[in-house]
Structure 1
Amino acid sequence: MAVEGGSSEYEGNADADEMKEPLLQKTGASNGRDRRNKERERVINVPAAHPDDDDGASAGFGYNYGLRPYQDIAFSVIFVLLLFASIGFGIYGVVNSNPDYEWIESAHYEPDKGACSVPEHVQEKFGGGAWKQFWLHKNKKLLLNSIVAQKVSGSAETAVSLVIAITVVLSAPFALCMLWLLRKKTKELVYASLPVFILLPVALNVTWFVACQRDVECRRNFDFSAQLSLFLFVLLVCGLMIYVIYSNWDRIQLTIRVVQTAAEALYQNLTLLFVLPLLSFALIGLCTPLATFMVYAYTNGKLVPNPDILNHPQMPCGRGTDHPCCVWEPTGWVVPYLYLSGFAILWAAMITAQVQVFTISGTVAQWYFARGQFATGVAILRSLGHALGPSFGTMCLAGLVVAFVRLVRSLMNKANAEQGQPGALTIFLQACLESILQAVEFLTKFTTNFAAITGDSFCTSAIMTWNLLKRNLLSTVLVEVISDKVLAVVMVALTLVYGIILYAILSLTASLDHSTKMIATISSSVMLLLVLSLFSRILSNIVDTVYICYAMDKDEGVVHKPPVHNVFVILPPSWDEPAALAVPHEN
């Protein structure tokens, strides 16, 4: 039932309208009208939990300000133990490193003894632990040539560096400009982006078809009937996309409202743009020692003759050949440690990403469900405290799932590179596996969003997420896809405009050659694109959180943001229940 003007159409007509079942915690439909009336009475009479309330407990919907228990503790313990093991073995590797590793290039192979040794005159000349001095001495001619080249091209490099530095400074105003467009011109941006979904595939389809007709080899290897079939199939897919957009126009309108509200949420919480990068720096601070330990761990071993030389004594080795006489053989524990520490770095990176999503979701949910004044700093600290405190085990489990997905995808890509040209069955199986991996990542991201709002464990949040996706899958997918495409179009458009303007300014004001101007323009555009992509990733996570908040309001039949309360007209009802009454909630 529609709600207009911020007032509810519910006027006590309890027998005429029915409240739908909760979306996130659906039970059997046989509970009858009594349960529905009790749910309606609870939604109307019980306000959302807020830290100013006496008990601070959750009222059943909205952000959980209450005391949160520690969830998924076992996974946080496993992660901490993995870190301690990586650090402990790393320190052991540093203490027991073999200095002979520094002299691999100068090692001498003794066929009579079947062993490798380092000449004493090399060690005496450069001293122990002076591999850098040896390398500099060995390559001093190359270094001199490099220094001369640097002096010659120093002015060009200075100009490029200056342009990139200016771009970094201007990236913040560009990000704010992008935010302003998404807040004020959301409908226009979405309408302008929708044709791109159709016109770009059609243009690429026509381009390859015409190019193949003009190329003799393509016509010889690719039969015309197969070309025409593929061309018509792509056009059919584009036509299907047009039909999907037309038949789901209400969900397009939903996307516009969700993106606009998400942009407003980011505008009200700009501190997120400064807090979240600090987590990335913390990750760098953690991974740098681990990477250093991995390097030192590899130095635990000894110099041994190249096995190829031992199997073929007549094979030449050393300088001027492709076969070194001596190679490094690490100790038995080194290789397992490298895998262990590498996985620890990957897991830590995925946990950091989940903590960022958790912080964004928790902060935005507090803004969405807030009553009265809203303090951004307090909300961010509260969400970050929950992520690193009671929900840290949930973050570890979510990070582990995503890390496993990344490993599987990496192994699949490695197998493709080694296999060469895969068969049709292999391509089909890989496509199915990739779809499963994307679905797992999609579900995990929404699970983290739910955990940030409710404080539940990973499994409980995953079940709630599954119920949401099961009953609103098409709306969720369209909101996700269209919002990401809109952000990508705006981001690329701003980058292209900046690149064109920058090249024009350099052409008019700087006396640089064409290649230098192109390098400066491309480098600066890439730098701006990276900054805007980080901004878009934050906004994309906010879009997901706002959609979840909308769904929670829909389930409970309340409205926490009166200016956008008519979004309930657009949100599709559940498959087997009538739409909920939207009862405005005073903020």
Structure 2
Amino acid sequence: MASRDESLASDLEDPASVAAQPLLLPRPVAAAAGGDASVTGLSPSTNESYSPISYHYGRRPPRDIPALLLFLFFCIATFALGITALARRNAAASRVSFYVFDRNTSSCVLPSSNSFSSSFSSSPFLKDLIWTLVVTFLLSGPIALAVLWILRRYAKQVVYAAIPFFILIPSFLNIYWFVACTIGRDCSNAFPLGYRIIVLIFVFLLIGVFIWIIVANWRRVELTVQIVRVAANALASNIALLAVLPAMGLALLVYFSPICVFLIFSTWNGRVVPREVKGTSGEYYKCVWKQESWVPAYFALAIITMIWSAATLVEANVYVIGDTVAQWYFNKEGSKPAKSLRSSLRNAFGPSFGTVCFSGMVMGAVRFVRSIVDSARQDEDARGFVNLIFKCCAEFLLAAFDFVNKFTIIFAAITGESYCSSAKMTYELLRRNLLSAVFVETVSTRILIGIIFVLSALYAIVVCAILRAISALGENMYYVAALAWLLLIVVLGCFINVLDNVIDTVYVCYAIDRDKGEVSKSEVHEVYMHLPISRNHRSALGRPSQIA
């Protein structure tokens, strides 16, 4: 017995032996290990029995029905009251400024003769701006596909080639701004030389901090390259996600359109009334518009519904990605799951729609509280040490909710469990490798964001050069190029968000594999096995030669 304990202790001291063990002890292993925490080297809670976790095929039962019913109530109430507001609108709201007070009737009346005119003028700037944005939007799709193809085959070259641009582009823009402002008369007069030098040095200090971050995390870059390549292959195997998810966003815009119309026409519910005004020449009456008392309440209802709906669609996107990629991951090697995207959509907007609504409600509340915290941060009256502590705690809690919720909805997509059950099971699954989750969540995301920033900046420079050659916009071409850069970075940001969700889904699937002691995708295990599984365990990513 003593020799057995010594062998167990030696295995636990060996990092390679620990890395080979499942993240969570399945039921048979836990029963064999016994309940003595001193033997296993784990906390007592870790030795609990866990049901086997796997992808839930077949028909799923409805989950989180109360959240679904509450969401449907908000939607139906918003549309019902909006239709009522549209039917009861008063056309006088659009002509309030033309009403005059009639002393004979002591009411506001509309004069018989009124003329309304409107004019629209176009300019070369508007024409070039529209064409540039249209061309950029049409090119954004092929650019995203090209980025996906490059990440699959040349991820390492792209990452290492983009890293210098993370430094060169901000440095170039900093120097260019300083020189242009020094040469320009208006800018130099409005911004003295001393202030320009301070800003120049400050930006270079920020660039220096960024260089230090890159150097400090250089040993993680190689593993990040492999993680991004695995995610790109997974997304390429489910390429239809890049078409379905934008379609869901378009459906949300269609859904929002009548609500926006209802909000506009709800302000038309009221009447024109005279109001006594005291002026320098005495008292007189002015015609003003008085809304009905229920209109502000409807505004609150509609805004809450729109925020909840937008958050629900975001969570539905994550759910569909998680469900589709999980089917690909747990499918047999060399075969492709049939109708995986269709079943994912059916699960997301079918039995698990209540879970999606619950997750959307949580994230909508987090966004609302975060906006309150940001507003309080800008309030000059809300200062002091206590307020600072409160804001830091609030930011920590909000970030924790955001972090846990993302993995919770992915776990719900894989297992079909309810939101609360998925949150608990996800916590148990990721408890022993929290650092790995943070690594996957942050490092790869920052690398991908840096890549799309570089590509968008290069595209903006090309647009600026083309506009300089074929147009006569002058300095306005910089505004057009900046808007083109913004549009492209938004579209590529959506693509990177999809890829980021694929990375998280593959990570959860890998954790489930380790939990069961199985290997569903050998190429994924070859990469993710190098992730650290605890805060005290260093991964092998510091030795690039170990990573293929």
Provide the rounded CA distance (Å) in 2 between the counterparts of 1:31 and 1:449: 29
Q: How far off is 1:298 after superposition?
A: 2.3
1:288 counterpart residue number: 257
1:258 counterpart residue number: 227
1:485 counterpart letter in structure 2: R
Provide the rounded CA distance (Å) in 2 between the counterparts of 1:497 and 1:195: 13
Provide the rounded CA distance (Å) in 2 between the counterparts of 1:316 and 1:376: 81
2:127 counterpart residue number: 158
Provide the rounded CA distance (Å) in 2 between the counterparts of 1:396 and 1:109: 51
Question: 2:462 aligned to 498, 501, 506, which one?
Answer: 501
Provide the rounded CA distance (Å) in 1 between the counterparts of 2:396 and 2:381: 22
1:346 counterpart residue number: 307
1:528 counterpart letter in structure 2: L
**1:360–1:542 Cα contact (<8 Å) kept:** yes
Alignment of 1:217-296 (within 5 A): 245=217, 249=219, 252-296=221-265
1:367 counterpart residue number: 328
The structure-2 alpha-carbon separation of the partners of 1:23 and 1:325, relative to structure 1 and needing over 3 Å to count, comes to farther
**Percent identity, aligned pairs only?**
33
Provide the rounded CA distance (Å) in 1 between the counterparts of 2:233 and 2:55: 19
The structure-2 alpha-carbon separation of the partners of 1:118 and 1:170, relative to structure 1 and needing over 3 Å to count, comes to same
**1:182–1:260 Cα contact (<8 Å) kept:** yes
The structure-2 alpha-carbon separation of the partners of 1:198 and 1:497, relative to structure 1 and needing over 3 Å to count, comes to closer
The structure-2 alpha-carbon separation of the partners of 1:30 and 1:237, relative to structure 1 and needing over 3 Å to count, comes to farther
**2:82–2:259 Cα contact (<8 Å) kept:** yes
1:56 counterpart residue number: none
Q: Aligned residue pairs: how many?
A: 497
Q: Check if 1:97 corresponds to 2:89.
A: yes
Provide the rounded CA distance (Å) in 2 between the counterparts of 1:112 and 1:515: 58
The structure-2 alpha-carbon separation of the partners of 1:421 and 1:315, relative to structure 1 and needing over 3 Å to count, comes to farther
Q: How far off is 1:389 after superposition?
A: 0.7
The structure-2 alpha-carbon separation of the partners of 1:68 and 1:416, relative to structure 1 and needing over 3 Å to count, comes to same
2:392 counterpart residue number: 431
TM-score (norm 1): 0.72
2:501 counterpart letter in structure 1: N
Question: 2:355 aligned to 394, 398, 413, which one?
Answer: 394
1:173 counterpart residue number: 142
Provide the rounded CA distance (Å) in 2 between the counterparts of 1:572 and 1:293: 52
| CA offset digits 1:29-69 (Å, max 9, x no partner) | 9733489xxxxxxxxxxxxxxxxxxxxxxx94442213211
Q: How far off is 1:395 after superposition?
A: 0.4
Provide the rounded CA distance (Å) in 2 between the counterparts of 1:201 and 1:427: 32
Provide the rounded CA distance (Å) in 2 between the counterparts of 1:479 and 1:182: 17
| CA offset digits 1:115-158 (Å, max 9, x no partner) | 65123x34xx4xxxxxxxx6xx35x3xx45x53xx2xx2x5543
Query: Partner of 2:217: helix, strand, or coil?
Result: helix
**1:279–1:352 Cα contact (<8 Å) kept:** yes
Q: Check if 1:570 corresponds to 2:519.
A: no
Which of 168-177 and 418-427 deviates more?
418-427
Provide the rounded CA distance (Å) in 2 between the counterparts of 1:305 and 1:544: 61
1:50 counterpart residue number: none
User: Which runs of 5 or more structure 1 residues have no equivalent in the other structure?
Assistant: 1-16, 36-58, 126-133, 206-213, 220-229, 319-323, 580-587
Question: 1:73 aligned to 56, 65, 69, which one?
Answer: 65
**1:271–1:377 Cα contact (<8 Å) kept:** no
| CA offset digits 1:202-258 (Å, max 9, x no partner) | 9999xxxxxxxx849999xxxxxxxxxx99x99998799579637xx4x65543332
The structure-2 alpha-carbon separation of the partners of 1:185 and 1:73, relative to structure 1 and needing over 3 Å to count, comes to same
Q: Check if 1:530 corresponds to 2:487.
A: no
TM-score (norm 2): 0.77
Q: How far off is 1:278 after superposition?
A: 1.3
Q: Check if 1:118 corresponds to 2:78.
A: no
Q: How far off is 1:555 after superposition?
A: 1.9
The structure-2 alpha-carbon separation of the partners of 1:108 and 1:376, relative to structure 1 and needing over 3 Å to count, comes to farther
1:379 counterpart residue number: 340
Alignment of 1:508-587 (within 5 A): 508=469, 510-567=470-527, 569-573=529-533
Which of 540-549 and 160-169 deviates more?
160-169
| CA offset digits 1:535-587 (Å, max 9, x no partner) | 1111111111111112222222222122343235413345799x9xxxxxxxx
Q: Check if 1:326 corresponds to 2:317.
A: no
1:562 counterpart letter in structure 2: S
2:56 counterpart letter in structure 1: N
**CA RMSD of superposed structures (Å):** 4.4
2:31 counterpart residue number: 31
Provide the rounded CA distance (Å) in 2 between the counterparts of 1:422 and 1:26: 51
The structure-2 alpha-carbon separation of the partners of 1:61 and 1:204, relative to structure 1 and needing over 3 Å to count, comes to farther
Q: How far off is 1:442 after superposition?
A: 1.7
User: Which runs of 5 or more structure 2 residues have no equivalent in the other structure?
Assistant: 1-16, 36-50, 175-192, 540-548
Provide the rounded CA distance (Å) in 2 between the counterparts of 1:512 and 1:199: 29
Query: Partner of 1:64: helix, strand, or coil?
Result: coil
Provide the rounded CA distance (Å) in 2 between the counterparts of 1:235 and 1:538: 28
1:245 counterpart letter in structure 2: N
2:273 counterpart residue number: 304
**2:159–2:451 Cα contact (<8 Å) kept:** no
Which of 268-277 and 22-31 deviates more?
22-31
Query: Greater RCO between the two (CA within 8 Å, min separation 6)?
Result: 1
Q: How far off is 1:431 after superposition?
A: 3.1
